[in-house]
């Protein structure tokens, strides 16, 4: 049996790109709740911006979960850096949860 760990991190909204999750080769899941006052643009990679992002998470409790992919029959998720940037007001807080092996 494999033991999993979970880490929940509070994230303050910012109009400059911030790291939401560092590289983690042991990551098997990651989710994000945006309780900020404006939408958050998240990116699988460095330097999320209004012209380079993976997903837009709406304000007021929007939820995003990293999708899983099947590679040669093995379930994998993005395990590189995840960054985010908010598109307006920087009030409120957001929560990122990472599950690892």
CATH assignment at residue 85: 2.60.120.770
Residue-level pLDDT at 35: 94
Longest CA–CA separation in the chain, Å = 45
pTM reported for the whole predicted model: 0.93
Q: Count up the domains in the chain and report the number.
A: 1
3-state secondary structure 61-76: CEEEECCEEEECCEEE
Give the model's pLDDT for residue 63: 98
Residue range(s) defining the domain that contains residue 57: 5-100
The set of residues, in sequence order, having a beta carbon less than 8 Å from that of 26 and lying 6+ positions away, is 79, 100, 101
Please state the φ and ψ torsions of residue 57, each to the nearest 5 degrees. -105, 115
Q: What is the pLDDT of residues 59-68, one digit of tens each?
A: 999 999 999 9
pLDDT number for residue 1: 54
């Amino acid at each position: 049996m494999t033991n999993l760990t979970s880490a929940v991190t509070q994230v303050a909204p910012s109009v400059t790109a911030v790291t939401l999750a560092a590289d983690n080769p042991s990551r098997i899941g990651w989710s994000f709740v945006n309780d900020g006052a404006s939408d958050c643009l998240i990116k699988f990679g460095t330097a999320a911006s209004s012209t380079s992002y993976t997903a837009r998470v709406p304000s007021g409790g929007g939820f995003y979960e990293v999708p899983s992919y099947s590679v040669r029959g093995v379930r994998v998720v993005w395990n590189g850096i995840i960054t985010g940037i908010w598109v307006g007001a920087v009030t409120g807080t957001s929560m990122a949860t990472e599950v690892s092996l």
